[in-house]
Structure 1
Amino acid sequence: MTNQASPIAGFLRPLHSRDPDEHHRVATSLELLFDLVSVIAIASAAAGLHHAIAENHAAQGVITFAMAFFAIWWAWMNFTWFASAYDNDDVVYRLLTMVIMGGSLTMAAGIPALFTEEPDFTMVIFGYVIMRIAMIVLWLRAAYHDPNRRRTALAYAAGIFIAQLYWVAFLAVQPVSTGTAYAMFVIGAILEIAVPAIAEPLSANTPWHRHHIIERYGLLNIIVLGETLLSGSMALRQVAGHFDIMLVHTALSALVIVFALWWAYFARQEHLGSRKLSRSLLWGYGHFFIFASGAAVGAGFAALVDIITHHSEVPLLVGDYAVAIPVAIYYASLWFVRDRFACNGFSRYALLIFGLLGLVAPAIGLGLEGIAATTALGVIVRNSLAAHEESGDHIGH
């Protein structure tokens, strides 16, 4: 008599915690598909920022972009850390992940409505709540199958549920003034951010895989930097129709800057050298500014193309700063989450200094080329000094 696997075995398996020291743990094809869906929402938010800058509504556009990006990033981040700890790849897990993807697409469809004089949060909140309800189910599964971390898993589920009640209440009181809507959004964001900080210490920390998490964050960063490559391609398409040397400079500068940002992020130094809760929260949360600024660089280049081709009446200096400011934030954020821990000597501050120099470049007439030069020099100096300091430390020991 041959043993046959139960038909339900692949459909519903115990959601046991994974080994945080598992060898050769890499991103799954489902996680890559999840990232692909997320990039649609990111592109929608970046497009909204681009048009806000080009239409001379930069301040409101930045606020709205930050809100939209927070919703995208937070849902992505929560799923990513959960998957690192509990992904069992059964049918139910896959289906719930696809529900989260559907919520992300719904949210992406609603993002343009945020970039209006009277922001409409309906579609964004509706899509977001869909994503978070699926996460509640995943955490309840984890609570059932992982008794050592049951209190933490239940706290996650309860915290997410309370936050979603708040978002539904926010939706119910619309329309409200723009200022009130922004204030309510900040309160909701604080509720969401507080959940991991409260839940994790209640029992054993969730067993996320350090190298897997680092890889997942790196992959999203590559996707985010793709927004800048897209803007460079847009500049070259404009050149094909009507040659303008400024568009060529814009495309080349976009390439230099995106390559430098990539190189700065994927340096040899360890991104997350500790599983300590305070360190992992700081690193994980701090990446909001890395990801958001990376996408904003692309929006800045897109606005520059509009300015150069006379589709926008905004001064060129505004376009230059729409690139310089997010580049500086990107470098400062890398210092905050990695370099101040991983580097010694001057290399620790190199990105901070060159990010600030990039802010000075447009003001002294160096323009976009000056921003590109300081961005590239920042990563060259930082990496050269870090290698030299590490070599010196090695010899000293």
Structure 2
Amino acid sequence: MSPVHLFRQRGSADADHVSFIELFFDLVFVFTIIQLSHTLAHHYTPRGFIEGIMLVLAIWWVWVYTTWVANWINPEHWISRCLFLGLMLVGLLLSTSIPEAFGERGLIFGIAFAVMQVGRSAVVMCLLRGVDERNYQNFIRITSWLALAGVFWVAGALDEGDRRMLLWGIALGIEYLSAAVGFWLPVLGCSTGRDWEISGAHMAERCALFIIICLGETILVMGNTLTRLELSPTLFLAFVTAFVTTILLWWIYFRFGHQRAAELIKTSDNPGALGRLAYTYAHIPLVAGIILTAVGAEFLLAHPQDVAGWKWGSALIGGPAVYLIGNLLFKTIAWGRVPLSHCVGLALLAVLALTATGLTVLTLAILVVGTLAVVAFWELRALDQPR
């Protein structure tokens, strides 16, 4: 039996393989996405919305950084498995603290997040020493930036109220800025896109699986809400409307976006830069849009016949709108051109937001479904041509 290498061997049959330990790791984030959407639904105020966005940004960042690491290390090696299992344990603690992250469980959230980010990168940095000098220096840069952000995560966890929000906002800013500037450090300089030799197929599949996890949350919201309510024709129509919304979100991403982007990144001469733009950054509004859509589905099923005020209307329209923005960015990066269907869809949603006064929640949701259907079928007619 051949030895199991610690790092993925580029060009081998398993280089693009998504392993079972990665899928097992994702189970924690199934629970995490549930926590995020329920927390946002129950604290749907201007402040709660800002806190929710900060939590979404944090959760996405810890997951996508782990995905980048999994792109290099061999998940079949026992060291890699121990790393993933340790991250799962801390990640579960992180997830349980989400509802009270800005309250009584802030200490757990802040410390758990810092441990996951700094700990994972430090372990990989040590493993790369003497094996891959270029990536070793990359991870020195990454770990240094994450350690700096970790100071603000822990400081915010030890504080409370507005000061916690400010400190965690600074921490998020450091983490997101660091990748944008190539993790620049004095003496070591910065990383470039060509420094990151990645498997595009693996990255594309991992991010697609995370989108599936997020879409699955909307299914869970529909099922859980429906079981608590007395079934009626109106509720059944609301249920079908929410379900069709989820189908259309799935269709818009997977029918053309994921497939063609995966093909492009495989042949790109700079897969690192493309992966950073298309998957690390452009997927943020995709994930945020799905979570907000799940919140809207919960509002729809609970209040189908009520007038759609700003609270319910912003979720019903805002979720799909943010999702379309994410798809527009993703496909523009991957294809090199802006999908007109998405621009039209966003314009229709904007008109709907300005003219929806007095509509019931169910009527508004049906109109949103119609808008998404226009986008999906427009793209189908424009792009689904024989090759």
**1:70 and 2:57 correspond:** yes
Q: What's the CA shift string for 1:226-277, capped at 9, x where partnerless?
A: 11112222343245xx233332122111111111110110123522523354
Q: Counterpart of 1:26?
A: 17
Q: Is the 8 A contact 2:41 2:295 kept in 1?
A: yes
Aligned residues with identical type, % of pairs:
20
Which residue among 240, 249, 252 is the counterpart of 2:240? Answer: 252
What is the deviation of 1:279? Answer: 3.0
Q: Is the 8 A contact 2:40 2:48 kept in 1?
A: yes
Q: Counterpart of 2:92?
A: 105
Distance (Å, rounded) in 1 between the aligned partners of 2:56 and 2:320: 17
Q: Counterpart of 1:190?
A: 173
What is the deviation of 1:18? Answer: 3.3
Distance (Å, rounded) in 1 between the aligned partners of 2:350 and 2:54: 24
Q: Counterpart of 1:153?
A: 139
Distance (Å, rounded) in 1 between the aligned partners of 2:314 and 2:151: 39
Q: Is the 8 A contact 1:37 1:104 kept in 2?
A: yes
What is the deviation of 1:213? Answer: 0.4
Larger deviation, residues 94-103 vs 315-324: 315-324
What is the deviation of 1:379? Answer: 0.9
Distance (Å, rounded) in 2 between the aligned partners of 1:23 and 1:93: 15
**1:281 and 2:272 correspond:** no
Q: Is the 8 A contact 2:153 2:167 kept in 1?
A: no
Q: Please provide the CA RMSD for this pair.
A: 2.8
SS at match of 1:47: helix
Q: TM-score, normalized by length of structure 2? A: 0.85
Q: What's the CA shift string for 1:82-123, capped at 9, x where partnerless?
A: 1112225222221111111111111111111136xx575212
Distance (Å, rounded) in 1 between the aligned partners of 2:11 and 2:178: 22
Amino acid at match of 2:294: G
* Superposed counterparts of 1:117-136, under 5 Å: 121-132=106-117, 133-136=119-122
Distance (Å, rounded) in 2 between the aligned partners of 1:211 and 1:303: 37
**1:210 and 2:200 correspond:** yes
How many pairs does the alignment contain? 365
Distance 1:387 1:368, change over 3 A: same
Distance 1:245 1:339, change over 3 A: farther
Amino acid at match of 2:303: I
Which residue among 375, 378, 381 is the counterpart of 1:381? Answer: 378
Distance 1:95 1:340, change over 3 A: closer
Distance 1:278 1:298, change over 3 A: same
Q: Counterpart of 2:348?
A: 357
Which residue among 294, 298, 301 is the counterpart of 1:305? Answer: 301
Amino acid at match of 2:176: I
What is the deviation of 1:126? Answer: 1.9
Distance (Å, rounded) in 1 between the aligned partners of 2:107 and 2:203: 32
Distance (Å, rounded) in 1 between the aligned partners of 2:125 and 2:193: 14
Distance (Å, rounded) in 1 between the aligned partners of 2:334 and 2:138: 28
Structure whose CA Rg is larger: 1
Amino acid at match of 1:86: I
Distance (Å, rounded) in 2 between the aligned partners of 1:247 and 1:203: 50
What is the deviation of 1:26? Answer: 2.5
Q: Which runs of 5+ in 1 are unaligned?
A: none
Amino acid at match of 1:337: F
Distance (Å, rounded) in 2 between the aligned partners of 1:190 and 1:162: 11
Q: Counterpart of 2:210?
A: 220
Q: What's the CA shift string for 1:28-65, capped at 9, x where partnerless?
A: 10110111111111110110011123xxx2x2222111
Q: Is the 8 A contact 1:249 1:369 kept in 2?
A: no
Q: TM-score, normalized by length of structure 1? A: 0.83
Q: Counterpart of 1:371?
A: 368
Which residue among 283, 287, 303 is the counterpart of 1:291? Answer: 287
Q: Which runs of 5+ in 2 are unaligned?
A: 184-189
Distance 1:215 1:60, change over 3 A: same
Larger deviation, residues 139-148 vs 262-271: 139-148
Distance (Å, rounded) in 1 between the aligned partners of 2:378 and 2:9: 40
Q: Counterpart of 2:186?
A: none
**1:51 and 2:42 correspond:** yes
Q: Counterpart of 2:187?
A: none
Distance (Å, rounded) in 1 between the aligned partners of 2:12 and 2:318: 39
Q: Is the 8 A contact 1:149 1:205 kept in 2?
A: yes
Distance 1:87 1:333, change over 3 A: same
Q: Is the 8 A contact 1:159 1:195 kept in 2?
A: yes
Distance (Å, rounded) in 1 between the aligned partners of 2:197 and 2:21: 20
Q: Is the 8 A contact 1:238 1:247 kept in 2?
A: no
Q: Counterpart of 1:35?
A: 26
SS at match of 2:6: coil
Distance (Å, rounded) in 1 between the aligned partners of 2:11 and 2:294: 35
Distance (Å, rounded) in 2 between the aligned partners of 1:291 and 1:322: 14
Q: Counterpart of 1:268?
A: 256
Q: Is the 8 A contact 1:304 1:316 kept in 2?
A: no
Q: Is the 8 A contact 2:16 2:202 kept in 1?
A: yes
Amino acid at match of 2:150: Q
The 4+ residue runs of structure 1 with deviation greater than 6 A are: none
